Amino acid sequence: MSFKVLLLDGVDPVCANIFKERGIQADQPGKLSPEELNSQISNYDGMVVRSATTVTPELLEKATNMKVIGRAGVGVDNIDIKAATTKGILVMNTPDGNTISTAEHTCGMIIALARNIPTSVATVKNGGWDRKKYMGSEVFGKKLGIVGLGKIGSEVAKRMQSFGMEVFAYDPFTTKEHASDMNIELVDIDELLGNVDFLSVHTPLTEKTKGLVSLKNADKLKKGIRLVNCARGGIYEEADLPKLIDDGIVGGVALDVYSQEPPNEELYKVLEHPGIICTPHLGASTEEAQEKVAEQIASQMSDALENKNYKGSLNGKSISLLTNEEVQPYLQLAEKLGAMAVQLSPEHASSLEFEYSGDCTKFADVLTDGILKGMLSNYVEDSVNLINARYFADERGFSIKEILSSKGKTFNDLVTIRFAEGSEYRSISAAVFGENDYRIVQIDKYGIELRLEGDIILYQNQDMPGMLASVSGALAQQQINIGALGLGRTEKGSNAITALTVDKKLDDTELDVINKLEGIQHVRYVSFS
């Protein structure tokens, strides 16, 4: 069978050469208008894109012969993976191709900040010669903070250690042993912000990372800290950066990514500040990287079209599961349970135990993938899916143990996660109750019923009158409404566990009011929103 592939977004010519060598026709027409793309897409079995083309559900509806879409690079934000999966179309990327280029660009930004290279270059080119004005500082002996110790963050650390920098990192999923092997000290995020001289982020943009540095938390920053972002726009609050620099809180900023690309007029005004170095998303823009990802994606797609190998697939397992309705509820349960587990587990835990009982044991392999996907999705820079979740867990030094029990316990099918020593909560168990109805049924020794949805306050308390009233009263004073309630205890007068689902997302200040109540302990906030 002969295949045809459409190459878009100026992908490196080596891509077409690889396809040709494999006997696959590769057309590279240059830039196509949306109308031209819509009219031609049905002629192709595969398509290669970079970041310029957006693959929408509407485009996929017209891609009647499409079998595989390849992203020559890492990020797949421009591809609707869910829509592609629904239509049975494989989506692939090349997660390793840009690692070195992005790490090197980050290191270059650090040096450029330290030595005022861009501004001094501009001065000399304009006829100036003010050496004192551009006095820099050595990076030797300075402290570098890294948020996210994945592939790129680790490569940055390795290179800057060679410059004599002391490296600290925040990554709740990297074990202390793994970090120690790289001679990196793991610290919490506040300690990182308050102690390092340079900060580089290598994490996705999520609710937790958005605005990681802003005027709101300026008091947490070490005075003069220099900021680098070659990961995702918006991790630093861009509009606040000029004032942070002018007030002497931040010593300089280097950005390669932005909340809007290309920047709008308002953002360009921010970037005019002389204390901000900015490049047009060049992290992966090297000849070597573009050639590497083009070669990799062509080889991967050729293998997939010939049904030889599916390496690099982001949704291959998901596609196979679409035809198995029996596994779907358990997979949804696993991902939700993982999302809760990560918010209860102690940071840098080195081991986890997953137990499956009842009929769901036959899906144990994919359920473990689902739990890990739920745990890692908001913390790993790359796209996490059922295919690569274990890889990212292994990369961070996780040890995972699976236990299968064919006999159901109180519930016919039960999924349990047990945490490592040091956790306030040691285990959580959940079951499927019905369509889109997934519930926690036990936390530690406490039987409790709690739907895995919304925003939840979880705490332990002494089993005595008035405890619930004190918490609900504290919430009422802050205009926070309770939507659902779950209670559990082992016996009268012992400790009890309470879970309250509230109608809004809570910040640390609102949660701190609950923490200060007498008789309340182990307060944890879990959000699915």
Together in a domain, 267 and 295: no
Q: Residue 48 sits in a domain of what CATH number? A: 3.40.50.720
Is 418 a known active-site residue? no
Same domain, 182 and 217: yes
In a domain? residue 155: yes
**One of 71, 178, 232, 396 is an active-site residue; which one?**
232
In a domain, 72, yes or no: yes
Q: Which bin fits 466, alpha (ψ -120 to 50), beta or left (φ > 0)? A: left
HEC sequence for 316-365? HHHHHHHCCCCCHHHHHHHHHHHHHHHHHCCCCCCEEEEEEEHHHHHHHH
Question: Do 365 and 512 fall within a single domain?
Answer: yes
115 belongs to the catalytic site: no
Q: Quick one: 58 and 115 in the same domain?
A: no
Distance CA 140, CA 111 (A): 11
CA atoms lying within 13 Å on the CB side of residue 162: 8
Q: Are residues 61 and 107 in the same domain?
A: no
- Phi, psi for 335 (deg, rounded to 5): -65, -40
DSSP codes, 91-142: EEE-TTTTHHHHHHHHHHHHHHHHHTHHHHHHHHHTT---TGGG-----TT-
Domain of 304 in residue numbering reads as 4-94+288-316
State whether 310 and 215 are in the same domain: no
Q: How many domains does the chain have?
A: 3
Q: Look at residue 463 in the predicted model and tell me its pLDDT.
A: 82
Q: What is the pTM of this model?
A: 0.77
What is the C-alpha radius of gyration for the chain, rounded to an integer number of angstroms? 25
306 and 438 co-located in one domain: no
Whether 246 is covered by a domain: the verdict is yes
> Alpha-carbon distance 124 to 502, whole Å?
59
How, if at all, do strands 185-186 and 166-170 pair?
Answer: parallel
Residue 63's Cα: distance from chain center in Å? 29
> Which of 278, 302, 329 is a domain's end point?
278
424 within some domain: yes
Cα distance between residue 242 and residue 264, in whole Å: 17
Task: Please say whether the beta carbons of 152 and 106 come within 8 A.
Answer: yes
Q: What is the CATH number of the domain that holds 460?
A: 3.30.1330.90
Catalytic residue among 138, 261, 266, 306: 261
Phi, psi of 333 (to 5 degrees): -60, -45
d(CA 57, CA 77): 13
Residue positions counted in the chain = 529
Question: Per-residue confidence of the chain (529 residues) as pLDDT tens digits?
Answer: 689 999 999 999 999 999 999 999 999 998 899 999 999 999 999 999 998 899 999 999 999 999 999 999 887 889 999 899 888 899 999 978 889 999 999 999 999 999 999 999 999 999 999 888 999 999 999 999 999 998 899 999 999 999 999 999 999 888 888 899 999 999 999 999 999 999 999 998 888 889 999 999 999 999 999 999 999 999 999 999 999 999 999 999 999 999 999 999 999 999 999 999 999 999 988 999 999 999 999 999 999 999 888 888 888 877 777 667 788 899 999 999 999 998 988 777 778 899 999 888 888 888 998 999 999 887 777 678 787 788 788 877 778 889 888 665 677 789 999 987 777 888 999 999 988 899 999 999 899 999 999 999 999 988 888 889 999 999 999 999 999 999 988 877 678 999 999 999 998 889 999 989 988 989 999 999 7
**Residue 17 belongs to a domain:** yes
Among 273, 281, 390, 524, which one carries the catalytic annotation?
Answer: 281
- Per the domain annotation, does 54 fall within a domain? yes
Q: Which of 248, 278, 308 is the last residue of a domain?
A: 278
Residue 273 among the catalytic residues: no
Phi, psi of 18 (to 5 degrees): -65, -45
Residues 244 and 310 both lie in one domain: no
SS3 30: coil
- Count CA within 13 A, CB hemisphere, residue 416: 26
Q: Tell me: do 345 and 423 sit in the same domain.
A: yes
Q: Are residues 297 and 355 in the same domain?
A: no
In a domain, 37, yes or no: yes
Question: Which token pair is 247?
Answer: 């007030």
Residue 420 and residue 305 share a domain: no
162 and 103 co-located in one domain: yes
Decide if 283 is inside a domain: no
